[in-house]
Amino acid sequence: SRGKRVPVPPLFQLRDFLLVYNRMTELCFCHCVSNLNYRLLTGHEETCLESCAGKLVHANHRLMRAYVALMPSLVQRRASDYEASAAQASQISAPEGPAAVLPALAGAGG
């Protein structure tokens, strides 16, 4: 046995991660790198990039925590809305009492 297998995320999650990563890289690069005449980054550029990336990762983690905290109430609200619309749709399509059945019965005998 090879040990535990790491689950592969769905393709859309990978795409979303790569979009966020690429955007973060672009933002930090544009903010921190000012001189493209050298192959290596300066000490100031390296420090700036580390700080920039750290801030963005930290902000992303805070947003995800807030999203996870709100998720149960959002799911509950969607379920309630769905149940209400399903109940409303069933009331519209259901006949209204015995009076609605009588014309159908009268036409069936004829």
Distance CA 61, CA 72 (A): 18
- Answer whether residue 75 shows pLDDT above 90: no
- As given in the structure block, the two tokens for residue 79 are 């379920």
Placement of tokens 């672009």 in the chain: 26
pTM of the model: 0.53
DSSP-assigned letter for residue 40: S
Q: What SS3 class is residue 96?
A: coil
Q: Dihedral of CA 54/55/56/57: which sign? A: positive
pLDDT category, 58, cuts 50, 70, 90?
very high
- What are the extents of the domains in the chain? 11-89
What architecture (CATH level 2) is domain 11-89? Orthogonal Bundle (1.10)
Q: Which of 6-15, 27-36, 62-71 has the lowest mean pLDDT?
A: 6-15
Distance of CA 26 to the CA centre of its chain: 22
Supply the mean pLDDT for the chain: 82
Mean pLDDT calculated for residue range 51-79: 90
